[in-house]
Homo-oligomer: A and B are copies of this chain.
Amino acid sequence: MTNSPLPISAADIDAAAAVIAPYAVRTPLLTSPSLDALTGARVFLKPEVLQRTGSFKFRGAFNKLSSIPQAERAGGVVAFSSGNHAQGVAAAAQILGMHATIVMPADSPLSKRERTKGYGAEVVLYDRYTEDREAIAAAIAGKRGATLVKPYDDPFVMAGQGTVGREIAQDMAALGLTPDIVAAQASGGGLVAGIAMAVKAKFPDTAIIVAEPAGFDDHTLSLRAGRPVAHSNEGKTFCDALMALMPGELTFAVNSRLLAGGVSATDAEVGRAMAFAFRDLKLVVEPGGAVALAALMTGKIDARGKVAVIVLSGGNVDADLYAKVINAG
């Protein structure tokens, strides 16, 4: 670990907050007596399921697209994404009057593909197991003069996602509370990096915890190793939003400095957390949005007697999968 400057600062997140304010939903902190009773903690939920496009991704995408100089906007933007970044970029491009091309896995949830098209984007499908999405996106960017919008390893994207943490810090301060724990799930780590930067600027002693699907715990492994390493799992998880192979370079620079540690949850545990959210929280949470909640409910995040903030990062789940999960849980 070095003391070199980090790729984003709290001031970058303040600036992003001003940029996204006219279009992003200022999500509240929610409380649940039944979740408090279950965990023995005082839990606050940050429901990014209520965000424009159904996940936090709109924040980073809109901040990034707004940073593109007018002269370069005619070329449009291109992004690769399993679905939530896709919708975030598509919605931001639509608002800003830019063309968006999104490279999505052919097996991404139908609802995410349809919703991305619904925001006016052009969707190009690829095979997750045989094709290289970065190469496809780079080729489109080169041919059209489009700006590539990376899903996490970009300071503007990270600063945009950091507004989640800025709002958490503001709301906790307004309540007169110091969070002991703030936990969010990670794929490339942009959300948790932005949150860590914003929350620790106001509450330096808060433990920021990253939650990952079991077997896809590259952040946890990387934090232990002190350098970005890939997860070893070649299997599948139903957390379709959280399948990045390893942490980003820029996100890990932040996360290795600021995170307290990582936890993981199995698909079964995540499914039970989704069913709990249906029954008791009345919130629709997608698999990749419920990992931190699952880690809290199983005690892997031990919040007993503490003040904990759990980020529910997205709610874009197909109705048929959701039906199976809530009937099983």
Contacts and interface: CB of A to CB of B under 8 A. Distances in A.
A232 to B, nearest CB: 33
Contact of A50 (B25, B30, B315, B323): B30
Interface in A273-308: 275, 278-285
A321 to B, nearest CB: 11
Interface string A24-36: 0100101111000
Contacts of A32: 25, 50
B50 A281 contact: yes
B25 A282 contact: no
A279 B54 CA distance: 9
A260 interface: no
Nearest to A47: B282
A125 interface: no
Given A322-B326, A323-B326, A282 B279 contact: no
Interface in A32-47: 32-33, 47
A28 B284 CA distance: 17
Interface in A58-92: none
A283 B326 CA distance: 14
A282 B327 contact: no
Given A282-B49, A284-B283, A320 B315 contact: no
A52 B25 contact: no
Interface in A239-279: 275, 278-279
A225 interface: no
A120 B51 CA distance: 36
Contacts of A28: 28, 30
A319 B279 CA distance: 8
A170 interface: no
A30 B315 CA distance: 16
Contact of A25 (B33, B54, B315): B33
A285 B278 CA distance: 10
B326 A54 contact: no
Contacts of A33: 23, 25, 52
Given A25-B31, A282-B315, 11 more contacts: A28-B28, A47-B282, A54-B280, A275-B319, A278-B284, A282-B284, A283-B284, A284-B284, A319-B326, A320-B327, A323-B327
Interface of A: 23, 25, 28, 30-33, 47, 49-50, 52, 54, 111, 275, 278-285, 315, 319-320, 322-323, 326-327
Q: 4 closest A-B pairs (Cβ-Cβ)?
A: A323-B323, A282-B315, A49-B282, A282-B284
22 contacts: A25-B31, A25-B32, A28-B30, A30-B50, A32-B50, A47-B282, A49-B282, A50-B282, A54-B282, A111-B279, A275-B319, A278-B284, A279-B319, A282-B283, A282-B284, A282-B285, A282-B315, A319-B326, A320-B327, A322-B323, A322-B326, A323-B327
